Amino acid sequence: MDGDPRAQQQDKYVSVDGLRLRYLEAGQGPAVLFLHGASLGSSADVFRRNLPAFATAGFRAIAVDMPGFGRSEAPQDHSLAYRRALVPKLMAVLDLPKAAFVGHSQAGAVAVSLALQQPGLISHVIVLGTGSLLPPLPGSPPRPERNVPEAEPSLADTRAALEATLVHRALATDEEVTLRHGFCTGPSFAAAVARAAAKEPPDGGPPLWQRLTTLPVPLLMIYGRQDRAQALERATLLKETYPRLDLHLIDRCHHLVPWDAADEFARLSIEFLRRS
């Protein structure tokens, strides 16, 4: 992509449920709402390099800092259920009667859950590297919960954590690491600790991966072949179990799909949005 995509987008702010939320926006047309994951330091900036491609293709591309992430204010309720319930409120404030959802990591499950609960709000779902939407391998132990560090990470810690999600580690530039580190410390770190303590009650239904074929909107799933937690094997098992799923595995791509595979992610997604 020519030029620095960071220079093409300005921070915008909106009040939702009494919270000041930051978002990035590019383009005009059918709305595509980008939701980042829950890793320490994650924010709308995960998608900065992707928004121009969607805007050029004729979409209104919007990426938001969820409450307690990036430059958005932290909520009193740090549960995933609260963040999930906030998304329709955000759409109402941004005048989005319907949008396609792009969910990275944990947010992929948020997008799928909302599509099952409120399909009238969502035109399409695109999932990027969401481990919770993959079946466990036979005989594998339960996945351990991800813990927040006991202390705020150093700049070197932030670099190591970011590089660990990438095949193309040169993308973790000094500028990117410094930006992300700012979202790993201070109030952002306190919010991460609070999120870790907020347990999500089970919904009583089958795992989300077993409900993917019942999704009432078109679904595209993209995973990196080098992603963590045996994602390649588990995604292959999911495709074998449900052959009709539109699932793609990209080589030389780790967990941060929007960076490692920016061009392929945009191509697959834009073709998917246009044809369905």
**pLDDT score of 144:** 60
Report the C-alpha gap between 151 and 193 in whole angstroms: 10
The phi and psi torsions of 127 (rounded to 5 degrees) equal -110, 130
Query: Above 70 in pLDDT, residue 6?
Result: no
What 3 state SS string does the chain have?
Answer: CCCCHHHHCCCEEEEECCEEEEEEEECCCCEEEEECCCCCCCCHHHHCCCHHHHHHCCCEEEEECCCCCCCCCCCCCCCHHHHHHHHHHHHHHCCCCCEEEEEECHHHHHHHHHHHHCHHHEEEEEEECCHHHCCCCCCCCCCCCCCCCCCCCCHHHHHHHHHCCCCCHHHCCHHHHHHHHHCCCCHHHHHHHHHHHCCCCCCCCCCHHHHHHHCCCCEEEEEECCCCCCHHHHHHHHHHHCCCCEEEEECCCCCCHHHHCHHHHHHHHHHHHHHC
Query: Above 60 in pLDDT, residue 8?
Result: no
**pLDDT score of 3:** 42
What is the tens place of the pLDDT at every residue in 106-130? 999 999 999 999 999 999 999 999 9
Report percent pLDDT > 70 for the chain. 95
Provide the Cα torsion 179, 80, 64, 167; round to 10°. Answer: 50
Per the prediction, the chain carries an average pLDDT of 94
pLDDT band of 4, cuts 50, 70, 90: very low
How many folded domains does the chain comprise?
1
What is the tens place of the pLDDT at every residue in 27-42? 999 999 999 999 999 9
Query: Above 80 in pLDDT, residue 201?
Result: no
Q: Taking residues 66-94, report their average pLDDT.
A: 97
Report how far apart the first and last C-alpha atoms of the chain are (Å, whole number). Answer: 26
The parent domain of residue 207 ranges over: 5-275
Higher pLDDT, 8 or 171: 171
**pLDDT score of 147:** 66
Query: Above 50 in pLDDT, residue 63?
Result: yes
**Per mean pLDDT, which range of 16-20, 205-209, 254-258 is the poorest?**
205-209
The phi and psi torsions of 98 (rounded to 5 degrees) equal -155, 150
Question: pTM for the whole thing?
Answer: 0.95
Report the C-alpha gap between 54 and 24 in whole angstroms: 13
What CATH number is attached to the domain comprising 17? 3.40.50.1820
Helix 106-117 to helix 80-93 angle (10° resolution) is 70
pLDDT band of 203, cuts 50, 70, 90: confident
**pLDDT score of 148:** 77
